[in-house]
Structures are given as structure tokens and as C-alpha cells.
Amino acid sequence: MTTTPAVLIEGTFAAATATASVGAYYLSDQCTTAVDKLTCTNEGAVTATATAQLFAPDGTSVQTFTKALVVGASWPFPDIVGHTIASGGKLTVTCPTASTIKVRASGRKFT
């Protein structure tokens, strides 16, 4: 088994709905992925809520983490650290207020 450190989501704004082409989204493709860090920062002008979700390969929600962030605040989502995403599963971060919550996630890929 090979372990590769990886940036899962690179400095992307969360959208109201995260998809493969929009917003903060990571698909664990042909590997198992461990989440080592997920940080959200409110770069907007109002308090906003970030929602991080882990999904199983069949699309069912495994776990959801939510945090309201005041302007300028960051949150490291400590409860998501250590969770794994099976091949075909995904990690999304959403926020109903566009261009407000910036997301960065890193982890390890196991192949």
C-alpha cells in the first residue's frame, strides 16, 4: 500500500451546492483518503455557516459538521480529522452565502 500526502481542496470558496465542477468538493477516486485537516475561513462581510459533509460511495451522507463563522474567523473542524473516505466517496463543504467561506483541506491517499 502506498501513502501519498495530498491537498484535497485548495483555497476554494464554498458554494450553496458543491459539485465536481462548482465549490469545495473532493472525490476519493481509486483510493481511500484520510482527512488530516479541513479549515474554513469567513472572508465575507456577514456571519456565515459552513457545512462539511462526508458521503459514502453510494451517495448517502455519512456525517455532517456545521459551524457558524463570524467575519474574519476560521474554524479547523477538529471532528472531521481522522475520518476516511472510501473510493467513490466524497467530501463537500457548502455555504448558502456565495463567495464567503474559503475552504482548504488536506490529507493522505492510500492506494
Tell me: the pLDDT tens digits for 16-73?
887 766 778 999 999 999 999 999 999 999 999 999 999 999 999 999 999 999 999 9
Domain count, the chain: 1
Q: In this structure, what CATH number is given to the domain that contains residue 88?
A: 2.60.290
Q: Report how far residue 109's alpha carbon sits from residue 14's, in angstroms, rounded to the nearest whole number.
A: 23
Q: Are 84 and 33 in contact (CB under 8 A)?
A: yes
Tell me: the pLDDT tens digits for 32-47?
999 999 999 999 999 9
Quote the domain boundaries for residue 65: 3-110
In our burial notation (b when 16+ CB lie closer than 10 A, e otherwise), range 11-31 reads ebbbbeebeeeebbbbbbeeb
